[in-house]
Amino acid sequence: MNHFYLLCVLLPIVTGAAVLIFRNRFHRRSREMLVMAMSGLTSLVTLALVYLRPEPLTALRLSEHLNLSFHLDGLGVVFAVILAVLWPIADLYSAEYMSHEHGENRFFGFFTMTYGVVLGIAFAANAFTLYLFYELMTLCTLPLVMHEMDPQGRAAGKMYLLYSMSGAAFAFISLVFLSHYGTLDFVLGGSLDPALILGAETTLRVVFLLAFFGYGVKAAVFPFYAWLPAAGVAPTPVSALLHAVAVVNSGVFAVLRLTYYSFGAPFLAGSFAQWVMMGVCSFTIVFGSAYAWRLQHLKRRLALSTVSNLSYILLGASVMTTGGLTAALMHMAAHSVFKIILFFCAGAILCQTHHKDEYVFQLSGLGYKMPVTFAAFAFASLGLIGVPPFAGFFSKWMIATSAAGLGSTLGYIGAFSLILSAFLTGLYQVEVLIRGWFPSQKENLTHNAKVKEAGWRMKLSFVLLMALGTLLSVFSAPLAHILSLIAQGTL
């Protein structure tokens, strides 16, 4: 059964490669059927692995310290379930969105390959395997960022590659030190050998911070956030992939692994490494929200919102407690669902207005032309703001209470940054809804006169995601209990 780890990783990669190699032989209908079938099958097998939790699999042994190994522990289960549930819905949405774009086969080839690569990150049993697939993800998503191949797309791709490779260099340093002072295997509580680290504690904490900023590039921590809004020039399904499902969650996931399963919370708690991490996250939370508030470009506003919300998760992680890790995982799940809805709504607006309405002030009256899209946007906005009883409220509450529970000044600052960010999030999200549903009489609405609602696949994607967000909100308490058991290592 453990060989199904390889199946989940290789099936999307091989399918995506086939779409690229034989792109001239694929018609739109046959490609859609192939991609959807592959995505559904991979997700079903992934969920079966989550349920059965088979033994670890070592696919390749390079040396004593470097093994390509797969395993599903509690943390991996959370990421794998997010991917398995959201990816088929993203494929459904993309089928309609990309029918209005060019380079469909190239897009779906790399988009599909990315699914397998990111599952490799979720299944990684050690830091080497995670790092390998983390770098492969950069290579698979780079053509997606540059999809338009215009000057803006090429510039965004260069920035994305520069930031990603620079971050990878910092992250690689941690592999060297972890293999020397312990093991690369992921162990809840840390894999450092207490007998070996005596006298090297300060050095190892500095290495942790370097790796935190290295992996934190994909998590868009300040000051390494600029690539994320720049990548908004890519097609909207790519933006959703970058901002909600795969890339940024991979960065967050890697930091969680680094903190709790490699260096270990007991080793980091109370040290300068914890305070630097917490301070950076608190600043990024407020910075991202404030920057988003002042932007009028819709996708870039949502991108800066992602910058802020990713640091919510990392702030929970920086608390270095079971409660902090539980809160981080809760917000990781909630943010994934609500943010992918928001980007899908933005994509539907761009698609139906032929990319004419990219700015918030251009959306006047569109709520009446696209009622399903704006209803979904309102639903996700309430979840992202954290209005009770949405899951976003519970996750933010858990993060704030865990940070304040430290009883330190920086912990209180972290909790306050969440409150301030929630207020700013309300301002910039509600503005979109007011523009869409309550245009002033002075605004000229003639440019939106012929706009109509998106097609059935986009609308079905909205309905499925809103149903998922509702379930997530209704069952927030049981989910928090399950995530607590994962954080404790008992599940």
pLDDT score recorded for residue 442: 53
Mean pLDDT of 359-373: 86
Mean pLDDT for 414-438 is 92
In a domain, 336, yes or no: yes
Mean local confidence (pLDDT), 59-80: 90
Is residue 242 pLDDT above 70, yes or no? no
Burial state string for 166-175 with b = 16 or more CB within 10 A and e = fewer than 16: ebbebbeebb
Q: Quick count: other Cβ atoms within 10 Å of Cβ 401?
A: 15
3-state secondary structure of 63: coil
Which residue did the predictor score with more confidence, 144 or 274? 274
State the total domains in the chain.
Answer: 1
pLDDT tops 60 at residue 445: no
Name the residue with tokens 């191949």: 149
Tell me if 45 sits within 8 A of 119, measured CB to CB. Answer: no
In the predicted structure, residue 92 carries a pLDDT above the cut 70: yes
Question: Does the pLDDT at position 125 exceed 80?
Answer: yes
pLDDT, average across residues 457-485? 94
Question: pLDDT grade, residue 336 (50/70/90)?
Answer: very high
- Asked if pLDDT for residue 261 goes beyond 80, the answer is yes
- Residue 436 confidence (pLDDT): 86
pLDDT the model gives residue 374: 93
337 residue type, one letter: V
Give CA–CA dist 248/241, Å, rounded: 8
Report pLDDT for 11. Answer: 94
Query: Over the stretch 216-241, which tens digit does the pLDDT of each residue have?
Result: 999 889 999 888 888 776 676 766 77
Residue 109 has pLDDT above 80, yes or no: yes
pLDDT tens-digit series, residues 44-57: 999 999 999 999 99
75 or 228, which is more confident? 75
Tell me, yes or no, whether 204 lies in a domain.
no
- Arithmetic mean of pLDDT, 11-27: 84
Print the domain residue range for 378.
269-491
When pLDDT is averaged across residues 2-30 and rounded to a whole number, the result is 85
Q: Provide the pLDDT for residue 350.
A: 85
Say if CB 332 and CB 249 are below 8 A apart. yes
Residue 383 has pLDDT above 70, yes or no: yes
Is residue 35 within 8 A of residue 91, CB to CB? The reply is yes
Residue 448: what pLDDT?
Answer: 59
Q: What is the pLDDT of residue 207?
A: 96
- Residue 320 forms part of a structural domain: yes
* pLDDT tens per residue, range 58-69: 988 888 778 999
Does 218 reside within a domain?
no
Q: Please, are residues 153 and 160 in contact by the beta-carbon 8 Å criterion?
A: no
Q: Is residue 442 part of a domain?
A: yes
pLDDT band at residue 175 under the 50/70/90 scheme: very high
So what's the pLDDT on residue 361? 85
Domain assignment present for 32: no
> Sign of dihedral through CA atoms 40, 77, 337, 239?
negative
Question: What is the pLDDT averaged over residues 372-398?
Answer: 94
Helices (H), 53-103: 74-97
Residue 392, pLDDT score = 93
The stretch 442-456 carries a mean pLDDT of: 67
Question: Distance of CA 210 to CAs 94, 203, 223, 273, 377, Å?
Answer: 36, 11, 13, 10, 37
- The pLDDT value recorded for residue 443 is 55
Give the separation between CA 313 and CA 43, rounded to whole angstroms. Answer: 25
**pLDDT at residue 66, as a whole number:** 87
Q: What is the mean pLDDT of the chain?
A: 89
- pLDDT for 104 equals 79
- Domain assignment of residue 127, yes or no: no
* Position 37, amino acid: A
Helical (H) or strand (E) element with 286:
helix 272-294
- Whether pLDDT at 148 is above 80: no
**Which residues sit opposite 359 in a β-bridge?**
297
The amino acid at 84: A
What is the pLDDT confidence band of residue 366, given thresholds at 50, 70 and 90? confident
pLDDT of residue 356 exceeding 80: no
pLDDT of residue 444: 52
Residue closest to 341 by CA, chosen among 86, 4, 34: 86
Task: Report the C-alpha gap between 435 and 487 in whole angstroms.
Answer: 42
Q: Which residues contact 160 (CB under 8 A, 6 or more apart)?
A: 138, 141, 142, 145, 227, 230, 231
- The span from the CA of 276 to the CA of 280, in Å, is 6
- Percent of residues in the chain assigned helix, strand, coil, to nearest 5: 75, 5, 20
Q: Determine, yes or no, domain membership for 188.
A: no
